[in-house]
Structure 1
Amino acid sequence: MKLNQFGLKHESLSTAKKELTDLHFLTEKSATTGTALWFELLRKSFLTVKDESGFVAKLGNLLADETNDLAEFYQKEKTLNKDVFYTVALQLLEFEHGIDFSVEHLGKDLLKINVPTIDGDFEQVDTVIAAWYLLLNTHTQNGLTFLDKLANEGFYLDQNVSQPLFINGKAQAVFDATKIIREVVYVEADLDTDADGKRDLLKLEILRPGETETGLKVPTLFTASPYNQGVNGPAGEQLTYNVNLPLERKEPTDTQYEDIQYQPEAKDLPPARSVNGQADQATETFARELTNYTLNDFFLVRGFAVVYGAGIGTRDSDGIQTCGSVEQTDSMVAYIEWLTGKRRAFTNRTDNLEIKAWWSNGKVAMTGKSYLGTLATACATRQVEGLETIISEAAISDWYQYYRDNGLVIAPGGFPGEDADVLAIETFSKMKNAGDYLHSKTFFMDYLAEMARLQDRRFGNYNSFWDERNYLPFVKDIKCDVVMVHGLNDWNVKPRQVADLWDALKTVPVTKKLILHQGQHIYINNQPSLDFSDMMNLWLSHKLYGVENQAKEILPDIIYQKNTAVETWETLKDWQGEQTQTYHLSKTELVTTETSGQVTFNDELLTEQYERYTKNIPLWEKDLKENGVMDGHRYLAKSAELTSELLIAGRPTVKLTVASSQDLGMLSFQLVDFGKAKRLKDVPDLLVPHGMPLGPNWREENVMEFKFGPETEYKLISRGHINLQNRENPWKNDELIAGEMVTIEVHLHPTLYHLPKGRQLGLIIYGTDFAHTVRGNQEIEYTIELGESTLTLPLA
């Protein structure tokens, strides 16, 4: 295991002494020699034994040097040195001698594992203090700091420590998980989305430390999750669209953006509810969150409250589901406003007894992945008072780019035929309460039908429906600091979503951080090679508790996972490389000199082959990249073997002069790494089930890590799509005349990809994308003018 600790704060000796005193590792009676002090510190960290014999027995389990176990070292009264300290330290961090490290190669192995160390005379007390403090804040093999490991073993149980407690700038697990309070309130929003003449009440599930009952005020992590109250899988499947349809021609238009720009309509709002009284305590509880986020669980025992709100149109809430609309954002903003004292909530849906978030310190952060992170981004654009930061993971910044792309209907990876209305009915969990659903069924189904019309699956253009669901024009209004996390192999919420947000934030005067991993659509808070939870702890302790820990300065602007090595994370200042490399297209090669000539390919496949691919997308992906059955149905060109490594950083661009044999057409693109090699998998392996305790007597998370898979011949780097009738923009239809050459420019999805020496870069151009586009199997022949076509890579 290689540790990458970006959230580690290097403290002064005086701070280390103070915090070790707070932890009772140091007292007025502490030893005055380094060796004696070290054994005192070890004694206090061996929590399962109370007497000298037990202590010596535990020491005997550890290796001290080449000839002594630690009990022998202790009993012989040997003098501590750096090698002995770090030989023992590695074992305390759960690394195994003979497997992860050896005494003979200790220095080299410490560098390999990337354990932070200090030099000095270890017989000096100050050296041992500094080294022990650093060790406590170093990660173990299973993704926790050594201090977290001690906490989970009961270190704080018999100690009188402050709550909250901050060590190394981060909140510690000093709160009792068995005392967590679970309660439900109903927030009144300025909405009536189901048109029943009453303002929508929105259910909010709250988990807060029991210590808040005695006056402690805590900040809140809010996860806005339309999935939190359940999903309607069968209803979504029933509404899912058939994608085995032909691409249709669009009549040319001269549409301007102003013609389709979303304009909100004023709506009459029912009066607010009358308040019948006040309540100090909620009257409704719940047993377990339906969809919890383990990062939230990590913070619950560190002095943070956690709330889950599903919003309008979900089980036990009023309203209807609208999938990304202004009203959905309004509903999530309402929760924040209640947490910060700016909005009313009630103990239930009928008695009108008002309850306040009296336990809240008024500071909120939003967390969550996918739809959850999307709504965090949406709320951030509203300048909500008290929303201090968002941690948006795999988040949508523009819904058009999720379900459409450059004038095409595009499926999110793995979900052909899904669309905004499908997601709306899937998350309309009111359907699970049959009695409640009875009263809004007709209204919702009428809304769903109108939604289907407005989203326009037939032509796929950007319109007012999608403009309402595009948060990018409002990024300029963001006032809170932003952390973004995204997978470079996420073809569900594709990398362009976070890149567009990152670019839009460049001129906004807020702090922004970006973490890019090599995975698909996943969370990354359970990987021991990256201290994600620690980084977020540093960040949230500063943002929500006001701890002056230099989080903004310590955390790099961009952290990315290298694709050519396991457990390796590196940093950048910006995503877009400052240099470029341009390749020209020839018949079968990507070359650096100008070319000429033409190539053609036909999108129509034999019926048997077409039907096979509609049922087996992985087979189509394989055949597309290999010579053989797809010859003549796509253009494939490779570079010569690279003589030096390339780091592609940003958006590859394809400029193409092309003709379609019909008056309609679409093109798809894949950028591919060719060459036999073991490559990092885009789904992490399970290392230890439930191996990461999130706090003492609390929940656990699986330990996962990205590993190399078996040798493969190629790896997808990036992709892109365009309707040839949307060459200028996605809201204006361009004329396309059969056989006439047109020029297009397509920005593929941004990436950070190391292409090693000896590999070949490949570009594939084709029509139907069986994973993402409509699949009409139309007889369309595409002709590429090679001399006027290029691929340009941004390089770091």
Structure 2
Amino acid sequence: MTIRIATPHPPWKTLVLTAVLALLALLAAPGAASAAHAPKESTPVYSYAHAIRETVWVDTGLDGDGNGHPDRVAADIIRPSEPAKQGRKIPVIMDASPYYSCCGRGNESQKKTYDAQGRPVQFPLFYDNYFVPRGYATVLVDLAGTNRSDGCVDVGGRSDVQSAKAVVDWLNGRARGYTARSGGRAVTADWSNGNTGMIGKSWDATIANGVAATGVSGLKTIVPISGISSWYDYYFQQGAPLYDSGPDGLASAVESPAAHKNCTAVQQKLVKGAPRNGDWTDLWTERDYVQGADKVRASVFLVHGMQDLNVRTKHFGQWWDALARHGVQRKIWLSQTGHVDPFDYRRADWVRTLHQWFDHYLMGYANGIDRAPMADIERAPDAWATDARWPAAGTAAVTLHPRNGTTAGVGALGTRPTPAGQTAAFTDDPKLGEADWAGAIDRAAPAKAGFTTGPLTAPLRLSGAGTVTVTATPSTTSAHLSAVLVDLGPDTIRNYGGDGEGIVTGTTTSCWGAGTTGDTGCFKDTAADTRKVGFTVFSRGWADLGHATDPHHGHPLTPGKPYTLTVQLAASDHIVPAGHRLALIVAGTDKDLIDPPASRPTLTLDLPRTTARLPLTGGAPALARATAGSPTAGHPARPADGIAPPASLSRLP
């Protein structure tokens, strides 16, 4: 449309012109135009070089360090200058993290940098480079007790969550912000429209989960990448200790010098509230975000590596299920990697999809991302499939039974109930783990009880989380259990046990958005790190048998007495191909993944009272088709190679 303006012109023409211009402005606004002419995405029309760079210290309303003054957290901001001049307010992409000065973010461990006046220069990752020119503000928040923020690190507790929630409140006019860490003048976010999306990996993702679980108004979406959903499940699973330290160790690793000096009382609470016996305490209740899923107002784009042995996949599974029960709008990506950001394994698709997600939920563009398939799942390195929903449609829990096979010590797995009186025994050996057990699946081995189907005659898909119920009789007063599912057969998979947990970082770079000398927006390229294997462990679960009678409190076992316990298997999505076998292994200490018990028990399984409930797509008929006419035992012993967990897992999520 061309508007011709004649000058001079009578007043009535001025009124008409004003009305026309107002109409055009309305039509240009996201969500207001007709479907045929509505914009579909934000475009890079604003200057990154001339963006406003500032820090606002937001009052959290807490006094974690007990100095008599409310804690202020530093919110570093980069936002385009043009919208404010035009009288337009903009949305915010926020990453709240404890890592900005101690450890860095991203594959290249980037840290925040500042100029001589303390203004932000480099923001880690690409969010500012890519989204600021498209009309977003990027806000990076130092959690309380880290970098330039006051207060204390409480590892997922009230202070951590309030650090970020207070900034969301400030962006919506409900909290106080200042131009300085102490004193300073009050400042408002008059440039923000209040729409906030939180993103981040690991601890950052965890805070996004925690803030969403408060139900805070203005938080429109979260994108948690490898996030914790319950801190108890980061340190324990069903009483079994996953790491040899507690949250106090994490706090020490990330806190600022001031927090290290002034937060000894908080450190003591972390020690006292997280005993290494695996018992549930009030500290864990405060840090369980799953219980707050009913308060979540934000949409959730969840991303996780199915071989993440740091923030293990139980976290995404239980969070996803809780969100589903409460009807939260959600999307999921599941990769074959370990603890890796999707920017480093599916870069172009990730940036494009994230752009669409934020455009829809923060700017209101009707781009269809909310109607796109719910799940993207990596089936082989760099080979992805989509599903309309997740877990996959038609998935149902099917019970499988272990039994003794025709070869001593080599068991079978099938649908027929196990004959009465059958048993299998193993002795805990902390020097061995899942790779050792799977490699010895076809021969008797004292440290595991293994059970396999015959070679499948059709592919079998497991989608979601299963359980293994065991009745075990211990020989000592303490015992831990591990249960793993294994795909027995050759494959090429991402090397999740390698240094890059499934990726390798190259020497070339590519740029994602605008840049400056201090923040180029360019990052090293990555590629898949692959490995040929003879088997793949794809789901795991661990438990302390002493918590069988009371999930929240452990008790000494009575040697010779049988105990029944259901081990929760971590969520996954895996297809066992035709010709491969599905295996269930039950054993004791899983080397490098759980800590051993005080004793070295022998456990005897009552096989008729031991079952696996697995989420099979297609349910029982699919299992029947895949196992029809297939023998269940008698396979020759042969060496097999798989990926073992890293000997030293990072204690920083």
TM category (shorter chain) comes to 0.7 to 0.9
Indicate whether 1:663 and 2:477 are aligned. Answer: yes
Q: 2:445 aligns with which of 612, 615, 631?
A: 631
Which of 216, 232, 246 pairs up with 1:419?
246
- What amino acid is the match of 1:427? V
Offset of residue 453 of structure 1? 1.6
Q: Give me the whole-angstrom Cα distance separating, in 1, the residues matched to 2:294 and 2:237.
A: 23
C-alpha contact (below 8 Å) 1:164/1:303 kept by paired residues: no
Q: One-letter code of the match for 2:173?
A: G
Q: Does the CA-based 8 Å contact 1:164-1:171 persist in structure 2?
A: no
Determine the C-alpha separation between the residues in 2 that align with 1:316 and 1:418.
27
Contact 1:295–1:525 (Cα < 8 Å) also in 2:
no
What corresponds to 1:785 in structure 2?
A: 606
Could you tell me which residue of structure 1 aligns to residue 521 of structure 2? Answer: 699
Match of 2:565 in 1: 744
Deviations 1:655-688 (A, max 9, x none): 2121100122111122111112323444134577
Query: Which residue of 444, 455, 459 corresponds with 1:645?
Result: 459
Match of 1:205 in 2: 76
Is the contact made by 1:173 and 1:696 (CA closer than 8 Å) also made in structure 2?
Answer: no
Name the structure 2 match of 1:192.
63
- 2:503 maps to what in 1? 684
Distance 2:180 2:62 in 1: 18
Aligned-partner SS, 2:383: coil
Measured on the aligned residues, the alpha-carbon RMSD in Å equals 2.8
Correspondence for 1:570: 386
Contact 1:515–1:559 under 8 Å retained in 2? yes
For each residue in 1:421-451, what CA deviation from the matched residue of structure 2 results, as whole angstroms up to 9, or x when unmatched? Answer: 11111121x21xxxx45xx72x422331232
Indicate how the Cα distance of structure 1 residues 687 and 227 shifts in structure 2: closer, same or farther if over 3 A, else same.
closer
Task: Identify if the C-alpha distance between structure 1 residues 326 and 643 changes in structure 2 by more than 3 Å, giving closer, same or farther.
Answer: same
Q: Which of 277, 287, 290 matches 2:121?
A: 287
Is the contact between residue 293 and residue 368 of structure 1 (CA under 8 Å) also seen in structure 2? no
Task: Quote the offset at 1:371 in angstroms.
Answer: 0.7
Residue 492 (structure 1) aligns with: 310
Question: Compared with structure 1, are the counterparts of its residues 776 and 728 closer, same or farther at alpha carbon in structure 2 (3 Å cutoff)?
Answer: closer
Deviations 1:506-561 (A, max 9, x none): 232431222222211111135458722222222211222222333312x2222222
Are the structure 2 counterparts of residues 694 and 569 from structure 1 closer, same or farther at C-alpha, using a change threshold of 3 Å? farther
Of 364, 367, 373, which residue of structure 1 is paired with 2:199? 367
The alpha-carbon deviation at position 217 of structure 1 amounts to 2.6
TM-score by length of 2: 0.79
Matched residues in 2 for 1:663 and 1:526: separation? Answer: 46
DSSP 3-state at the match of 1:227: coil
Give per-residue Cα distances to partners, 1:614-652, cap 9 Å, x unaligned. Answer: xxxxxx554332239992122222221111101111112
Query: 1:757-768 to 2 correspondence within 5 Å?
Result: 757-768=578-589
Match for residue 95 of structure 2? 223
Is the 8 Å Cα contact of residues 478 and 597 (structure 2) preserved in structure 1? no
Once the two structures are superposed, residues 581-633 of structure 1 have per-residue CA deviations (whole angstroms, 9 ceiling, x without a partner) of 4332123133323334222121257xxxx4xx7xxxxxx55433223999212
Q: CA deviation at 1:334?
A: 0.8
Match among 333, 344, 352 for residue 515 of structure 1: 333
Q: CA deviation at 1:690?
A: 1.6
Distance 1:572 1:383, change over 3 A: same
Which amino acid counterpart does residue 101 of structure 2 have in structure 1? Q
2:45 counterpart residue number: 174
Q: Sort the Cα spacing of 1:299 and 1:688 in 2 relative to 1 into closer, same or farther, 3 A.
A: farther
Structure with more helix by fraction? 1
Answer 1 or 2: which has greater strand percent: 2
Query: C-alpha separation between the residues in 1 aligned to 2:156 and 2:346?
Result: 34
Q: Indicate yes or no: 2:588 matched with 1:771.
A: no
Task: Letter of the 1:177 partner, please give it.
Answer: Y
Unaligned runs of 5+ in 2: 3-27, 32-36, 105-115, 405-409, 497-501, 618-653
Alpha carbons of structure 1 residues 688 and 560: separation in structure 2 relative to 1, 3 Å: farther
Q: Equivalents in 2 of 1:346, 1:394: separation in Å?
A: 33
One-letter amino acid of the counterpart of residue 234, structure 2: Y
- Counterpart amino acid of residue 783 in structure 1: T
Superposed CA deviations along residues 260-298 of structure 1, whole A, max 9, x for unmatched, are xxxxxxxxxxxxxxxxxxxxxx97413323xx2324532
Aligned-residue offset at 1:304: 0.9
Equivalenced residue count is 557
Alpha-carbon distance in structure 1 between the residues aligned to 2:511 and 2:578:
38
Residue of structure 2 aligned with 1:380, choices 212, 218, 236: 212
Structure 1: where are the runs of 5+ without partners? 1-17, 22-161, 233-281, 412-416, 614-619
Which residue is equivalent to 2:13?
Answer: none
Q: 1:164·1:302 contact (CA, 8 Å) conserved in 2?
A: no
The alignment partner of 1:177 has SS state of coil
1:280-330 superposed Cα distances (whole Å, 9 cap, x missing partner): xx97413323xx232453212221110111121112221111111122211
Bigger Cα displacement from structure 2, 671-680 vs 470-479: 671-680
Separation in structure 2 between the aligned mates of residue 684 and residue 470 of structure 1, nearest angstrom: 31
TM-score (norm: length of structure 1)? 0.66
**Structure 1 counterpart of 2:620:** none
Taking the aligned partners of 1:295 and 1:527, their CA distance within structure 2 comes to: 17
TM-fit CA distance, 1:567: 2.2
**Aligned partners of 1:341, 1:630: CA distance in 2, in Å?**
66
